[in-house]
Amino acid sequence: MNSNYHTKTVTELSAMLQAGEVSSVELTRYFLDRIKSSDDKLNSFITICEQQALAQAAESDEKLKAGNAPALTGVPIAHKDIFCTDGVKTSCASKMLDNFISPYDATVVKNMRAAGVVMLGKTNMDEFAMGSSNETSYYGAVKNPWNLAAVPGGSSGGSAAAVGARLAPAATGTDTGGSIRQPAAFCGITGLKPTYGRVSRFGMIAFASSLDQAGPMGQSASDCALLLNAMAGFDEKDSTSIEKAVPDYSADLNKPLHGLRIGLPKEYFNIKDGGMDAAVEAAINTALDQYKAMGAELIDIELPNSALSVPVYYVVAPAECSANLSRFDGVRYGYRCDNPKDLNDLYTRSRGEAFGMEVQRRIMVGTYALSSGYYDAYYLKAQKCRHLISDDFKKAFEKVDVIMAPTTPATAFNIGEKTDDPIAMYLSDIFTIAVNLAGIPAMSIPVGFAKSSTGETMPVGLQIMGNYFAEAKLLNVAHQYQQQTDWHKQMPEEFKA
């Protein structure tokens, strides 16, 4: 059997499948074997769907033989365990849903299946997507493939680690405050958060309804383009879904960048006093020099209200999570405590025993912010500040085509380093949160390496932000960079074989 399938991108594997150079069954077995042999080091999967995956692969092979199969037919991928999957456990990495078998597919899963992909399994994540390090999972922390002592980022850390270690060619993720882009940066892969409403949220278990958005995670921008082609689209089952035609995101990948106007927000680059790491900034500046060499123009801009992003987010997101998680009460489905004395005891013990500490912390903060007497002071004021942040982006995009900044202020930190300091943990998302508050698309691409605080060489991510529904532009900008560099092709030593 070919031992190098894991070095191929989704784009390359798709071409091989279409040409009959490999079967989907062979490819699926290959990646299932990699998961079995290597995931004990990473803990990136919660559920492995071996029998289902092989059945889907056999079905894909029949479609490939018949001809005219969609581009992704037979390509194996993984789904974040926040997406409902018919007949397969959907846990959100929580004890609360450890016994929940979904009776239906999320629209993202349904769309990907219609496009012909094979589901290898469900990836680990921060519990209910609440976290920045993938340490809050009921199933244990996920490890970073570049340094097993470090975090992979969160909440889509399982997806990022699996793709980074090439245990799966690609995966789905969700991004509420940076949960696709931050782990993509930490694990040296490409991840895209689309415009809010571009991808259906139906069947994606809600954390913060006005912020959550699903997106693709892969090795390259061209991979993400193929995946987004399948994921995006209007869904009548989702009231936040936008009824707007889906372009072919692969069509403009090869457009030259001459004349591209890149905005550099001073607020993202002038972080001092323990803010942005100097080695990360150096890698970002080298990438910006590459863009200049490709014909782009760098323009200094201001996003004056971006400093409000973290406090605004940590009022809005917990408030919405408090409302969304109220349904998990021990009555209808999910965990139920033993021998409750009465209804109140059932509620309080079921929730207290099944929710982890970070989830409980956010529920408490959110309930407080929404409570009588505090709603106007906290939640309403946060929403007003959110409009200011959104307006900053709108003004900036009158002058520039895209905005670039670091994805994270530093490389991946070690497991356990920030678990006792929630504020330090929250600040690891300082560069990503504003995008979700504004609802615009953004992505992270690997642009080099920097030494971590412990001396390890770790990946650095460049964040590219665009105007509403400018995903095709972002993918083009990222792809052109990846045609000139090979950072996205780098693999951790431990997982090269």
pLDDT in tens, 418-447: 988 888 888 888 999 999 999 999 999 999
Residue 295 has pLDDT above 70, yes or no: yes
Q: Minimal CA–CA distance to 102: which of 117, 120, 112, 89?
A: 89
Query: Are the C-beta atoms of residues 261 and 225 closer than 8 Å to each other?
Result: no
Cα distances (Å, whole numbers) of residue 34 to 151, 165, 268, 405: 21, 10, 39, 34
pLDDT band with cut points at 50, 70 and 90 for residue 374? confident
Query: Scanning the structure block, which residue is given the tokens 């990907």?
Result: 112
Residue 274 has pLDDT above 60, yes or no: no
Beta pairing partners, 244: none
Residue 427 has a pLDDT of 83
Q: What local confidence, expressed as pLDDT, does residue 455 receive?
A: 82
Nearest residue to 129 via CA among 48, 183, 202, 196? 183
What residue spans define the domains of the chain? Answer: 5-260, 307-383
Q: Which residues contact 346 (CB under 8 A, 6 or more apart)?
A: 329, 330, 331, 336, 337, 340
**Of 14, 38, 94, 179, which is the active-site residue?**
179
pLDDT higher than 80, residue 272:
no
Q: Which residues pair with 299 in a beta bridge?
A: 263
Average pLDDT over residues 474-494: 97
110 is catalytic: no
pLDDT at 346 over 60: yes
DSSP secondary structure letter of residue 89: B
Residue type, 361: R
pTM here is 0.96
Asked whether the predicted pLDDT for residue 1 surpasses 80, the reply is no
24 is catalytic: no
Residue 298: beta bridge partners? 262
Which pLDDT score is estimated for 269? Answer: 86
CA separation, residue 269 to residues 302, 405, 409, 430 (Å): 11, 7, 9, 12
Distance CA 448, CA 287 (A): 8
* Cβ contact 233:246 at 8 Å: yes
8, 14, 38, 80: which is the annotated catalytic residue? 80
DSSP string, 230-256: HHBS--TT-TT----PPP-TTTTTT--
Distance CA 156, CA 180 (A): 6
φ, ψ dihedrals at 47, nearest 5°: -130, 135
Percent of the chain with pLDDT over 70: 98
Helix (DSSP H) and strand (DSSP E) numbers for the chain = 16, 11
Residue-level pLDDT at 2:
55
User: Which tokens sit at 376?
Assistant: 């106007």
Once rounded to an integer, what is the mean pLDDT over residues 232-242? 97
β strands within 92-169, DSSP E: 118-123
- At the topology level, CATH places domain 5-260 in Amidase signature (AS) enzymes (3.90.1300)
Amino acid identity, position 4? N
Q: In what order do the strands lie in the sheet with 457-466?
A: 45-48, 118-123, 76-80, 170-175, 213-218, 190-193, 442-451, 457-466, 402-406, 261-265, 297-301
Active site residue 200: no
Q: What is the pLDDT of residue 130?
A: 96
Q: Tens digit of pLDDT for each residue in 183-197? A: 999 999 999 999 999
Contact 211, 199 (CB under 8 A): no
Whether the pLDDT of residue 253 is over 90: the answer is yes
Positive or negative, the Cα torsion across 335, 337, 340, 343?
A: negative
Which of 1-5, 74-78, 104-108, 307-311 comes out lowest in average pLDDT?
1-5
Averaged pLDDT for residues 68-86: 97
Q: State the CB neighbour count (10 A cutoff) for residue 489.
A: 13
Separation of alpha carbons 57 and 67, rounded Å: 15
Q: What is the dihedral of CA 403, 456, 220, 242, to 10 degrees?
A: -50
Closest CA to 182 of 215, 154, 162, 208: 154
pLDDT of residue 275: 67
CB 360 within 8 A of CB 227: no
- pLDDT class for 372, splitting at 50, 70, 90? confident
β-sheet bridge partners, residue 208? none
Given a cut of 80, whether residue 267 has pLDDT beyond it is yes
CA distance 463 to 402: 10
Rounded to whole angstroms, the Cα distance separating 85 from 34 reads 23
Query: In sequence order, what are the beta bridge partners of 265?
Result: 301
On the question of pLDDT at 4 being above 70, the answer is yes
Q: Check if the beta carbon of residue 46 is closer than 8 Å to that of residue 91.
A: yes
Q: Does position 454 have pLDDT exceeding 80, yes or no?
A: no
Name the average pLDDT for the chain.
Answer: 95
Mean pLDDT of 372-376: 82
